[in-house]
Structure 1
Amino acid sequence: MYVGRETVAQYGDEVAKLCEKLLKILSVNLGLKEDALQEAFGGEEVGECLRVNYYPKCPQPGLTLGLSPHSDPGGMTLLLPDHEVPGLQVRRGDRWITVKPVPNAFIVNIGDQIQVISNASYKSVEHRVIVNSEKERVSLALFYNPKGDIIIKPSDELVGEDRPPLYPNMTYNEYRSFIRTRGPCGKSQLESLKSPR
């Protein structure tokens, strides 16, 4: 099936609008002004990236992963999964739980930058992708990220004497560079930046 460039662009625009609405909900839930997270991301100058992921079938799925364990380094990811072939797994404690996709529904992953801004009130999701032995799988992911050169830090309204900032000030570009030098290793990159209490 062919999908034209205009259709893809329109899809990306509409999903980005949904991300803006979700940021408003998350902001209000934190007790902040409605536009707090959007402003922390750089206002209207955020970064968006739409990615199509193709995972071919694999006769020995136990020997490979579609994507190794990680948390998304950016702000938020809206994933439109293949509802017929599950493949996304999230970590809960020491176990990996397969997410059962719902037709025509998004999976929303909180990224590392929202964890930092919320001073860990929200946690980014450690996840991985497995492959299937019988069927190929396709998913669409829109990554909604802060502007690369804006300082990301715990929100001033969410820190105080009883709750110090857990993370250092760092631009999103600096954070991406930091994690790329270490390679994929779950959530340990973000956790290594935490200030000791």
Structure 2
Amino acid sequence: MAISAQAPDIQGERQSGQDVRTQNMMACQAVANIVKSSLGPVGLDKMLVDDIGDVTITNDGATILKMLEVEHPAAKVLVELAELQDREVGDGTSVVIVAAELLKRANDLVRNKIHPTSIISGYRLAMREACKYVDEKLAVKVEKLGKDSLINCAKTSMSSKLISGDSDFFASLVVDAVQAVKMTNA
């Protein structure tokens, strides 16, 4: 019995255009809507049930996104973005909501016959201007803040994490550690 080598059929069906952009935007919007109501100090809890029936109740967006079984490619990218952001700074929820909104607005601009390259250039310009504004108007030198303000910032950062019950101790520990290793330009 001879086995014949067949070339795999990779032709498939290719889609492009506004319909695909709209589908991608809708999938990302759906992911954002799932975590949107859990955001902030009055965020709602979600009850998640996995394949074997285990129940998880949480309002942590990163946990919600990890437990989702996302199949859509664009939505998967958004979930991966949230995981990276959560690993880097501890908050992946906000980035999902902002990215979904930017995609929604970009889709509206494309519908109004604005080329995607122009939209990307506009977003990059807006990013540069926003960073410049934060640096010039909103940023405060750490030296100008007192230790109490730094401890409050640390408590806020840890408020949704497991150690929030001992936030006074850990916030003070973190501030002391950061001040011990900070570098100054002498």
Q: TM-score scaled by structure 2?
A: 0.25
Q: TM-score scaled by structure 1?
A: 0.24
Q: Which has the higher strand share?
A: 1
Q: Return the index of the structure with the highest Cα Rg.
A: 2
Q: Which has the higher helix share?
A: 2
